[in-house]
Amino acid sequence: MKTPEQIALDKQRERLTKRFHKACADYGLIADGDHILIGLSGGKDSLALVELLGRRAQIYKPRFRVTALHVRVKERAYQTDMSYLEHFCAEAKVPLIVRDVEIGEIPNSSDFIGKNREETNPCFLCSWYRRKTLFNVAQEIGCNKIAFGHHKNDVVQTLLMNLVYAGSFATMPPILQLDKMPLQIIRPLCLIEEADLVKYAEMQKYEKQQKLCPFEHVSAREKVKDLLAQIQELNPDAMDSIYGAMTNIKTAYLPSVESS
What tens digit of pLDDT does each residue of 37-55 get?
A: 999 999 999 999 999 999 9
Residue 170 lies in a domain: yes
Identify whether 255 is part of a domain. Answer: no
Residue 259 — very low, low, confident or very high, per pLDDT cuts 50/70/90?
very low
Q: What is the CATH number of the domain that holds 109?
A: 3.40.50.620
The 145-147 sheet, strands edge to edge: 96-101, 65-73, 35-39, 145-147, 184-186, 175-177
Contacts by 214-217 with C-beta closer than 8 Å and gap 24+? 214/76, 214/77, 214/78, 215/122, 215/123
Q: Please report whether residue 253 resides in a domain.
A: no
Note whether residue 73 is domain-resident: yes
Confidence of residue 251 (pLDDT cuts 50, 70, 90): low
| Number of domains present in the structure of the chain | 1
> In terms of residue numbers, what domain contains 104?
4-245
What percent of the chain is predicted at pLDDT more than 90? 68
- 162: in domain: yes
Does any domain span residue 241?
yes
Tell me the per-residue pLDDT of 187-246, one tens digit each, with 9 for 90 and over: 999 999 999 999 999 999 999 865 555 555 556 788 899 999 999 999 999 999 999 988
Q: How confident is the model at residue 77 (pLDDT cuts 50, 70, 90)?
A: low
Is 234 inside any structural domain?
yes
